[in-house]
Amino acid sequence: MKQTSLMPAPDLMLLAIIGGNLTHLILTPLLIITVSTLTRKRTVPFLDIDNEMLKSRFKSSHYWYWLATCLAGMLTILFINNSIILNTVCLISLYCVAVGLGRFGLIRPFAIAATVVVLAVHNSVQRFNLKVIDTYQFYDQLLVFAIIAALIFLLAGHSIRTYLTTKSAIEHERRDPYTGIYNLSQLKEDLNQHTKVVLIYIDLEATLSKTLCLGHKGRAQFLKNLSEHLGDRITFISRSYLPPFSSGLLCYLPVNERVNVQNEIDALLLSLKHFQFIKSGHSIELVKRSLICTEISTNNNIESIVSLLCEQYTNNRTKVLWLDSCKSSSTQVDKLSFIQEAFKNDDFELFCQPYKKLGSNNNQEYFEVLLRLNSAHQRHMIPASFFPLIFKFGLEKELDKWVVEHTFKSLNEYVINWSQIGRCSINLTATSLNFVELADQIIDYARIYSVPLNKICFEITESMALHNEDIAIQTIEKLREAGCCIALDDFGTGYASFDYLRRLPLDVLKIDGSFIKNITTNPTDVKLVQAMSQVASSMNLVTVAEFVESEQHTQILEQLDIDFAQGFGISKPLPLKTHLDQTQTANTRCA
């Protein structure tokens, strides 16, 4: 008895599969783009997201390599006659598209994916018509193409969600959590859009010092209201900025031939005069309205200039104080002479702070190299006392070179058995990473002093921005190839925490101590550290917690799967040579 097949007609199945592929890969993206363009209220700003994703990568050589690889894959599909090779090339093309999704926008990867599938389907149809492949092989290939289409859409959705989440995190990171006012990292990014500006610091010390009764929350609201007041009334102020460790606000005035600087400054003073802060039915005005201004080019060291502005004092009669940020005073000359003498006389001294591996009986030594400065007035000056001078006079490269060479020299002199050393961490400034020869110099020092680079970890402080990221990444990758590991220091408090995690090749994540020191009493800090630990674990990064001050800290960190603990609860800083001498001697006796 002849059985009746319930299988649909081959022509109908073919039409359904091809139609589904073309609809998903061509019509759906076109529909989204059209709706996003024509609709004023765009719930999914597809084009904007695509442009933002591509903006930072369009000039990168990686983009052109990726595009060339995808084009080569499409051309290859046209000339393939073997089914296995065809499916393999399609899967490779899927991988290329997956790499490009989010990294190089959305529209271009979509277009490439659509072209690949259309070419592959066209190739299969031709070979089926020529009877090069049979019906089952043909359907197998179409099934593969359908799966590729589905995966592309899943990856696209994941890329959009990841991008929006990261963007939101970066936006949140660049605002003060209490006032919502932007910080210096946002100021630096905004200044890049101009060639010359007048940077203005609004000194509010006199007012805030007399409003202590408002409490921290009240003063934060005061600053927020003032920022909104200026943004609404002063045309050149789109947003204000909150400098660290100061009592005031920053803003800037773009300078060009159409701008009358004095009139704009007068308008700002008048707006400050009219400002009132209403609290509990009472009105508070500014006690003193003082502006400290300087004209700068946007390639200046913004941190140093902001520090200079915030350090100034204005009396009650001074409304506007103009500074020449390029002029060297006698005090600056004295400071420059002081720091140059420190280099010349080797007044720096290496200290270290040991840290330990949690949940393990590992007896290897882990320590971070620290720096102290011995001056005629003070022995063992901490970095906070002299680092501003290093940055002000652009001596970061010389300092890092000194630290690396003398650290390697001490290791060569005191380390007898390298198997006892787990990791020696050395800090590198962001400025030094912008020099292409840095990695070669470090490798040369390691060869001269016979230091195995697989025992060395270089820490990049996340509180400073990388000005030339491409060169910095090249330097980092070269150091990693030589055996070093790379740590991101101060994670969570700097310019672009999550952005750095996405872009920089890293091995170690050091969680800033501000999240650790109150972890025994603050449940929020516990959750934040747990989230950081999970992120690091998903990226195969080793975690180090700073500011560990007690056994209770250690126990909580172990429960959160933190790998290492560093702080006074583990060990206080001590001279590097002393630590190496003691540990090597003790280990030698035990052996």
Q: Which residue has the tokens 């900025």?
A: 241
Tokens found for residue 290: 């003082």
Q: From CA 32, how far away is CA 35, in angstroms rounded?
A: 5
Per-residue pLDDT reduced to its tens digit, 311-358? 776 665 568 888 876 554 445 556 666 777 778 778 889 999 999 999
> pLDDT exceeding 90 applies to what percent of the chain?
27
Cβ atoms of 18 and 142 within 8 Å: the answer is yes
The pLDDT of 479-488, averaged and rounded, is 94
pLDDT of residue 297: 78
Per-residue pLDDT reduced to its tens digit, 132-172? 777 777 767 777 777 777 777 777 777 778 777 777 777 77
Task: Provide the residue type at 369 as one letter.
Answer: V
Q: Residue 566 — left, alpha, or beta (φ > 0 → left; ψ -120 to 50 → alpha)?
A: beta
Per-residue pLDDT reduced to its tens digit, 183-240? 888 888 888 888 889 999 998 887 887 776 777 888 888 899 999 999 888 888 888 9
pLDDT of residue 323: 80
The pLDDT of 275-304, averaged and rounded, is 80
Residue 498 has pLDDT above 80, yes or no: no
Q: Residue 500: pLDDT band by 50, 70, 90 thresholds?
A: confident
The pLDDT of 117-139, averaged and rounded, is 75
pLDDT of residue 495: 45
Name the DSSP class of 350: E
Q: Per mean pLDDT, which of 79-93, 184-198, 390-404, 510-524 is the most reliable?
A: 510-524
Q: How many CB atoms lie within 10 A of CB 140?
A: 14
Residue 497 has pLDDT above 90, yes or no: no
More confident residue, 58 or 396: 396
Name the DSSP class of 115: H
- Please name the helix (run of DSSP H) or strand (run of DSSP E) that holds residue 294, with its range, or none: strand 290-297
- Please name the helix (run of DSSP H) or strand (run of DSSP E) that holds residue 349, with its range, or none: strand 348-357
Name the DSSP class of 487: E
pLDDT of residue 330: 42
**CA angle 185-189-190, nearest 5°?**
115
More confident residue, 488 or 105: 488
Tokens found for residue 305: 């200039």
Could you tell me the sign of the dihedral formed by the alpha carbons of 139, 141, 142, 143, in that order? positive
pLDDT of residue 551: 92
User: Which residues, at least 6 apart from 589, have a Cβ–Cβ distance to it below 8 Å?
Assistant: none
More confident residue, 250 or 23: 250
Helices assigned H by DSSP within 254-395: 261-274, 302-311, 330-344, 383-392
Q: Residue 75: pLDDT band by 50, 70, 90 thresholds?
A: confident
Cβ atoms of 370 and 352 within 8 Å: the answer is yes
More confident residue, 417 or 453: 453
Q: From CA 162, how far away is CA 456, in angstroms rounded?
A: 33
pLDDT of residue 487: 93
pLDDT of residue 5: 47
pLDDT of residue 309: 82
Mean residue pLDDT across the chain: 80
Q: From CA 326, how far away is CA 499, in angstroms rounded?
A: 33
Residue 104 has pLDDT above 80, yes or no: no
Cβ atoms of 286 and 204 within 8 Å: the answer is yes
| Cα 13–chain centre separation | 50
More confident residue, 499 or 542: 542
Per-residue pLDDT reduced to its tens digit, 422-477? 999 999 988 888 888 899 999 999 999 999 999 999 998 755 556 677 888 899 99
Q: Per mean pLDDT, which of 294-298, 317-321, 381-385 is the most reliable?
A: 294-298
